[in-house]
Amino acid sequence: MKVDGCVPDAKFYSSLIHIVSKTGRFKDAAEIFEDMTNQGVARDVLVYNTMISAAVNHSRDETALRLLKRMKEEGSCSPNVETYAPLLKMFLLQHMVRNDVSIDVATGKLEEACLFFDEAMRKGMVPRESTCKMLVDELERRGMAEA
């Protein structure tokens, strides 16, 4: 890219980190994040937010918190609402698991319940049988049994 005069910027790196992370390759995404500055590209809030979100999505909670701390220490950018959103979700899921709280389709929209259910399963939260049944029944009722 550089040979052809196309110099990657922070937005490019954020997209690359997101895509690589979504394919399940968190370690590679972290290496890209670390290599950015070696390539002469400064990390901005979007890059940090992408990396923090990737860490949370891969159950790397400690890494996510270290990234927040590092962001503040480096001082090149400040956290914003998008920075804290995955961290809050991480904290709430941990709190729910510790307190044996299960999700309920009635507490929110069906799509959000499905996403939350998926996230909780990846975090090791074992749902109650009644929760699974309620979610499946609602999906079937709406003609979304494939989901």
CA angle 36, 60, 40 (to 5 degrees): 5
Q: How far apart are the first and last CA of the chain?
A: 40
Is residue 48, in this structure, part of any structural domain at all?
yes
Is residue 53, in this structure, part of any structural domain at all?
yes
Q: Is the pLDDT of residue 1 over 80?
A: no
Is residue 11, in this structure, part of any structural domain at all?
yes
User: In this predicted model, what pLDDT tens digit does every residue of 47-93 receive, in sequence order?
Assistant: 999 999 999 989 898 999 999 999 999 888 999 999 998 988 888 77
Is residue 99, in this structure, part of any structural domain at all?
no
CA angle 140, 105, 59 (to 5 degrees): 105
Q: Is the pLDDT of residue 125 over 80?
A: no
137 vs 107: CA distance, rounded Å: 15
pTM: 0.68
26 vs 43: CA distance, rounded Å: 18
Is residue 118, in this structure, part of any structural domain at all?
no
129 vs 97: CA distance, rounded Å: 15
Residue range(s) defining the domain that contains residue 64: 1-79
Is residue 84, in this structure, part of any structural domain at all?
no
How many independent structural domains does the chain possess?
1
Is residue 120, in this structure, part of any structural domain at all?
no
